[in-house]
Amino acid sequence: MGTPPETRGQPVHRDRVEERTRIERELLNRRRAARTIPVRPRPTGELRFPAAVSQEGMWQAVESSPGPSLAIVSALRLRGPLDVAALGQAWNAVIARHETLRTAMRVEDGRLTQVVAEQVEVDLAVGELDLADLDRTVHEEVDRPFPLDHAPLARLRLFRVADDDHVALLLLHHIIGEARSLEVVVRDLAAYYVAELADRPCALPPLPLQWVDYAAWQSERLAGAWGSELIAYWSTRLAGALPAVLPTDREQGADTSQLGEMLVVPLSHELYGRLSALAKDHRTTLYTLGLAAFTVLLARNSGQHDVAVNAPVSCRNRTELLDLVADFSGDVIIRTDLSGNPTFAELINKTHQDVTRDFAHPDLPPHLLAPHLDAPDLVERMSHVQFTAEHELDVLLSLGELRTERITASRQYVLRPLSVRLRYDAEQAVCQVRYRTSQFSPQRIERLMDQYLGVLEEMTGHQDRRVLTVVGGQ
């Protein structure tokens, strides 16, 4: 706050300094209050809260187009002496800690409502497992429906491989959580299990708030100026946009299933090193480079020069949200204009600017944006092609004497026809592509990934080359 013009060059009296200090303190308190998410009252007994805006959109999607359960899955192998009773107690303690795990979704008085039970206790189901049947077992568990009107919307299954060898399978419905939530659940489960073994209180700090507090705060923001700003931004940003053309080799026809496969392609150490150096030179990220190359791949295969790609984001942008089990995922559409046939260097800089600007506007649920675009299903169709990149975290999980290992089971369903994920750590990087088998053959995906690696090679070696120049017979 500057000094008023009429006082410049004059002595500043103490009362004016004190007044200015008071005003600045009030402004700071207002800003802090605006940033603070209020905690709603919690009377005893069963609680009812309006559903979050994002949950309303997901509910509408599930009701209008029922399909496979929107379950997020994690599997953990536990080797060593396992106390099954303690693990069951730990699971119930995690359910007690997170309101979302005690929440059912019901339509009451014409409105989707979160019904939070005061207490939910479940028995830990234990079965037998031959590791050769792991994929089939996971598929069966995913196919088991989650009745949304009954809590918990999460399941923990324990399978005995041998007396000292078990597999814990955790499933979480997407309406109450995302991939980060699985990490939170596994971490909390480990903490409570160790505390049960030691017969002492768990050291996890109390949660500062719960999902329903955030949901109410978010709904108020979206109903106000911030929501209007988001709608204005995205309706302008996506005006005239079209979905990316899928480079398929199969006619989908009557097969509308979500059955899919995944191909994992490692990047050579040389290529990964050049990409890392290129990102540093451009002061950008591997995300930007990977997305730019994916955009070029789509454009070269389709002839489309206005390319829109779905980009998942996390809205856990506040410290008090980091340890909650809830769905903070969002999607933004990154639209890239290649009509001027830029060089790779120009495209990298443009993609960096687009990503920075678009990721600053992540909070608008798709069903609120859809009425403001040229076609009501445009957002959904623009989400058919997805790209993301993420740094792998090496997280050690402590479960007493148990040796733990995360295991990956194949997923029989994919949410989108084509999804590319670049995963990397300090030493290596791999490209994971998930695809619908009704639209892509394995051979087609292999060729696409060969082309994608070729584009990355071009990007690192020929920054002055025009991106729509196809080389090497691609």
Average per-residue pLDDT in the chain? 89
399 touches 405 (CB < 8 A): no
Report which of 470, 443, 465 is spatially closest to residue 454, judged by C-alpha positions.
470
Residue 56 has pLDDT above 50, yes or no: yes
Write down the pLDDT at residue 67.
67
What was the pLDDT predicted at 28? Answer: 46
pLDDT of residue 409: 74
The pLDDT assigned to 80 comes to: 94
Task: Summarize pLDDT for 245-270 with one digit per residue, the tens.
Answer: 999 998 766 556 788 999 999 999 99
Of residues 449 and 393, which shows the higher confidence score? 449
pLDDT beyond 50 at 4: no
pLDDT of residue 247: 93
What was the pLDDT predicted at 83? 96
Nearest to 367, CA basis, from 177, 239, 213, 227: 227
Q: Residue 30: its pLDDT value, please?
A: 44
Q: Which residue has the higher pLDDT, 204 or 399?
A: 204
At residue 49, what are phi and psi to the nearest 5 degrees?
A: -135, 150
- The CATH class for the domain spanning 228-461 reads alpha beta
pLDDT at 453 over 70: yes
pLDDT per position as a tens digit, 161-195: 999 999 999 999 999 999 899 999 999 999 999 99
Q: What is the pLDDT of residues 122-149, one digit of tens each?
A: 999 999 999 999 999 998 998 888 889 9
Confidence (pTM): 0.85
Amino acid present at 191? A
Q: Choose between 16 and 187: higher pLDDT.
A: 187
Domain ranges of the chain: 47-212, 228-461
- Report the C-alpha gap between 185 and 90 in whole angstroms: 11
Please check whether the two domains, 47-212 and 228-461, share a CATH topology. yes
pLDDT of 7 strictly over 90: no
Residue 377 has pLDDT above 70, yes or no: yes
Is 367's pLDDT higher than 80? yes
Cα separation, 363 vs 19, whole angstroms? 38
Instruction: Give me the percent of the chain exceeding a pLDDT of 70.
Output: 89
Calculate mean pLDDT across residues 46-70: 85
Q: What is the pLDDT of residues 91-124, one digit of tens each?
A: 999 999 999 999 999 999 999 999 999 999 999 9
Please tell me the CATH code under which domain 47-212 is placed. Answer: 3.30.559.10
> What pLDDT does residue 256 have?
64
- pLDDT of 25: 54
User: How many distinct helices (H) and strands (E) make up the chain?
Assistant: 13, 14
Query: 161 to each of 89, 90, 141, 316, how far by Cα in Å?
Result: 21, 21, 17, 37
